[in-house]
Amino acid sequence: MISIKSSREIELMRIAGEIVGKTHNYLKSYIKAGITTKKLDELAYNFIISQGATPSFKNYNGFPASICTSINEEVVHGIPDNRKLKDGDIISIDIGACYKGYHGDSAWSYPVGRISSDKEYLLKHTERALFVGLDQIKEGTKIGDIGYAISNYAENHNLGVVKELVGHGVGNHLHEEPDVPNYGFKHVGPTLKAGMVIAVEPMLNFGTANVYLLDDDWTVITADGEPSAHFEHTVVVTKDGYEILTKR
């Protein structure tokens, strides 16, 4: 069952989402060549705690860090470590925060210094694909409408749509029903109602859609080694649209 949140729950999720947005803004100034992903993780942990929240991902199914840091061909779930960012990298940072029991979840991909035109293209169109998906949302939209719009946009721009990982409902659990795939058919799937909260999160590859899991059992990478980008917002469905809870 897909839960409909009360106005009190939505208010708490607005705060959780705002903390996630602020954490992104805070980290952004540190994304430079030479910083380690472990340092970014520490900064995020301290910032989230300073806001009166806790990092949703820490220990989630055993995940060992507060944020996911996925560089270049890493799609999602990269584990922060002593690797240093280099000029020309792109890094996807996925952040979750829990405030009074309710979560916000948002990922964003950032350039490190000057990046290639291919990577610029990938970032620009993955961000756009997120909004193309979000713009489907209002009461009455079917989940398939979102995925159809995203995959249609991605395919028109020759980008690979990762299918193994999907968006999801959000609430007092980080991952709730329904699944929100980045592919699908129009007018198919569960129907959105006002008060539902979902995370939409296209993961698009510069090359083919194929991905695989590394031996660490977390990091997902592209099969062809081409870069991948990830943009995600948590939103609440309204009668005639949606409100972004993880605003920047």
Strands 228-230 and 203-205, bridge-based pairing: antiparallel
Nearer to Mg ion, 107 or 209 (CB): 107
Q: How far is CA 235 from CA 105, 118, 163, 189, in A?
A: 9, 29, 21, 18
Nearer to Mg ion, 74 or 232 (CB): 232
Residues numbered 102 to 121 that lie near Mg ion (CB under 5 A) are 105, 107
Q: Is the CB of residue 176 less than 8 Å from the CB of residue 170? A: yes
CB of 173 to Mg ion, least distance (A): 12
Query: Residues 224, 230, 236, 241: is their CA dihedral positive or negative?
Result: negative
Is residue 199 near Mg ion by the rule CB under 5 A?
yes
CB of 76 to Mg ion, least distance (A): 8
CB of 52 to Mg ion, least distance (A): 20
Residue type, 56: S
Nearer to Mg ion, 179 or 224 (CB): 179
CB of 87 to Mg ion, least distance (A): 26
Nearer to Mg ion, 118 or 234 (CB): 234
Among 41, 73, 89, 94, binds Mg ion (CB under 5 A): 94
> What is the distance between the alpha carbons of residues 174 and 41, in angstroms, rounded to a whole number?
19
Residues numbered 213 to 242 that lie near Mg ion (CB under 5 A) are 232
Nearer to Mg ion, 122 or 199 (CB): 199
Stretch that binds Mg ion, among 36-44, 89-97, 136-144, 178-186 (CB under 5 A): 89-97
Stretch that binds Mg ion, among 127-135, 137-145, 194-202, 215-223 (CB under 5 A): 194-202
Residue at token pair 């005639």: 240
> What is the distance between the alpha carbons of residues 213 and 230, in angstroms, rounded to a whole number?
16
> What is the distance between the alpha carbons of residues 166 and 117, in angstroms, rounded to a whole number?
27
Strands 220-222 and 197-200, bridge-based pairing: unpaired
Binding residues (CB under 5 A) for Mg ion: these are: 94, 105, 107, 199, 232
